[in-house]
Amino acid sequence: MKHYLKSITLVILILPLFMLLSCETEKDVDVNSEIREAEESEHIAIESIDTTSDKIKIGFSMDTLEEERWLKDRDMFKEAVEALGAEVEILAANGNDAIQILHAETLIDQGVDVLVVVPYNAESTAAIVDKARLSDIKVISYDRLVKNADVDLYISFDNEQVGEMQARAITELVPKGKYVYIGGADTDNNAHLFKKGVFNILQPFIDQGDITVVYDQWTKDWTPLNAFKNMEEALIANNYEIDAVIAANDATAGGVIEALDALGLAGEIPVAGQDAELAAVQRIVDGTQTMTVYKPIKTLTDTAAALAVELAKGELVIGDRTINNGKYEVPSILLEPIAITKKNIDTIIADGFHSKEDIYRQKGN
Ligand code: GAL
């Protein structure tokens, strides 16, 4: 049976590959080899759903597993879905639109009851939602909003509030001076919300002439390397005179701090991040990062899993507010983030997000 399933799925996967290969351009060659790599590196876990069982089946299409937080999302979501007696198939697209669309098609063809999507690209993922709707499959936009599409539910944290928390913490320390803003990926709606939150707080300071934002740039694909390059550029353009940095997440804050470290400036300039990644919390303890924002992932995964199962049962899910995604008012749930500095690291430990031993571990151990 498993072999039979496997060959059907392979046909589903291979057919679009042939179609892509028949009109190959340079970009297609790249995409095709990335798809092959993804297949080879087991990102396509084609056998985890038993299509013969009558359990509710949830498909979880993720953008990436690059950052620590997404590994928690993956594991905790699986656990939450299974605790509800349903099953889940999880695919991660390595930050590639074509792969994510292919994954979604695979999940739809496998007959999942609900599709949960973390979009790599807020706009192009609308194609996934349209395909799911054609097969009567409900879609949850998870953590990141899919723009211009009829998603059934959006569940995330209050991302604008995340940015506000960052800017509040940094303006308390540096009420006057030259600021650098290292944004997230332009393709991710959250990056825009984080930035909006930051500028909600900075604007009055800017209007008074107390704060000048001397550098403000997106970071392609959220990578620490691109953030490092941005920070280098910001430092050079400003004669190495910077008073504070707000980075859109902990991965980019890591890149920023490496750039500062190369000049012996790590710990001299306040830096904000968000995600409460272990490395970031360790940097807070070391004094090279000022703050992060903790988003309790378990609350997100538990809520998303429960609502996915309700949607699969045909129940009405309304959320606690609506958010316009460019097409319509999407029923939404936004969870509360928590600002973390050296003073309240215990909050993260008490929640079991990171252990005390891990946080205070000596570097290199
Ligand atoms: C955002 C997410 C953040 C961060 C980032 C990079 O959408 O809200 O927590 O991890 O993506 O993947």
The pLDDT tens digits of the residues spanning 37-55 come to 555 444 444 445 566 678 9
Instruction: Indicate whether 308 and 276 sit together in one domain.
Output: no
In short, whether 249's Cβ falls inside 6 Å of ligand 1 is yes
- Identify whether residues 252 and 303 lie together within a single domain: no
| Structural domains in the chain (count) | 2
Q: Are 213 and 206 in contact (CB under 8 A)?
A: yes
Same domain? 120 vs 252: no
Residues 289 and 316 occupy one common structural domain = no
One domain for residues 330 and 278: no
**169 & 116 share domain:** no
Residue 364 lies in a domain: no
Q: Is 74 in the pocket of ligand 1 (CB under 6 A)?
A: no
Q: What was the pLDDT predicted at 53?
A: 75
pLDDT-derived band at 5 (thresholds 50, 70, 90) equals very low
Same domain? For 285 and 178 the reply is yes
**For the chain, what's the residue count?**
365
Residue 229, pLDDT score: 98
Q: Exposed, middle or buried by CB within 10 Å (0-12, 13-18, 19+), for 317?
A: middle
214: which 2 tokens? 């001397």
pLDDT bin (cut points 50, 70, 90) of residue 61 is very high
Residue 84 has, within 13 A of its CA and on its CB side, a CA count of 23
The answer to whether the CB of 69 is under 6 A from ligand 1 is: yes
Is the C-beta atom of 67 inside 6 A of ligand 1?
A: yes
Residue owning tokens 């993922």: 125
Residue at 267 is within a domain: yes
What percentage of the chain reaches a pLDDT higher than 90?
Answer: 84
Sorting pLDDT into bands at 50, 70 and 90, what band is 97? Answer: very high
365 part of a folded domain: no
Burial 334-360 (b: 16+ CB within 10 A, else e): bbebbbbeeeebeebbeeebbeeeebe
pLDDT number for residue 37: 55
Residue 120 belongs to what domain range? 9-151+297-335
Tens-digit pLDDT profile for residues 164-188: 999 999 999 999 999 999 999 999 9
- pLDDT reported for residue 36: 53
Residue 329 resides in a domain: yes
Domain containing residue 57: CATH number: 3.40.50.2300
164 belongs to a structural domain = yes
CA distance 163 to 167: 6
- pTM, entire model: 0.88
Instruction: Give Cα 160 to chain centroid, integer Å.
Output: 14
Does 303 fall in a domain? yes
Distance 330 CA to ligand 1 centre (A): 20
What percent of the chain stands above pLDDT 70? 85
Torsion sign over Cα 324, 319, 63, 18: negative
- My answer on whether 65 and 164 are in the same domain is no
Indicate whether 4 belongs to any domain: no
* Mean pLDDT across the chain: 89
pLDDT, tens only, 199-226 = 999 999 999 999 999 999 999 999 999 9
Q: What is the pLDDT of residue 362?
A: 65
Q: Which one-letter amino acid corresponds to residue 317?
A: V
Residues 279 and 244 in one domain: yes
Which backbone phi and psi does 329 adopt, to 5 degrees? -80, 105
Atom of ligand 1 nearest to the CA of 274: 9
- Within a domain: residue 3? no
State whether 230 and 190 are in the same domain.
Answer: yes
Are 113 and 217 members of one domain? no
> Same structural domain for residues 318 and 251?
no
The residues, any chain, with a CB within 8 Å of residue 52's CB and separated by 6 or more, are 1
Mean pLDDT of 130-155: 97
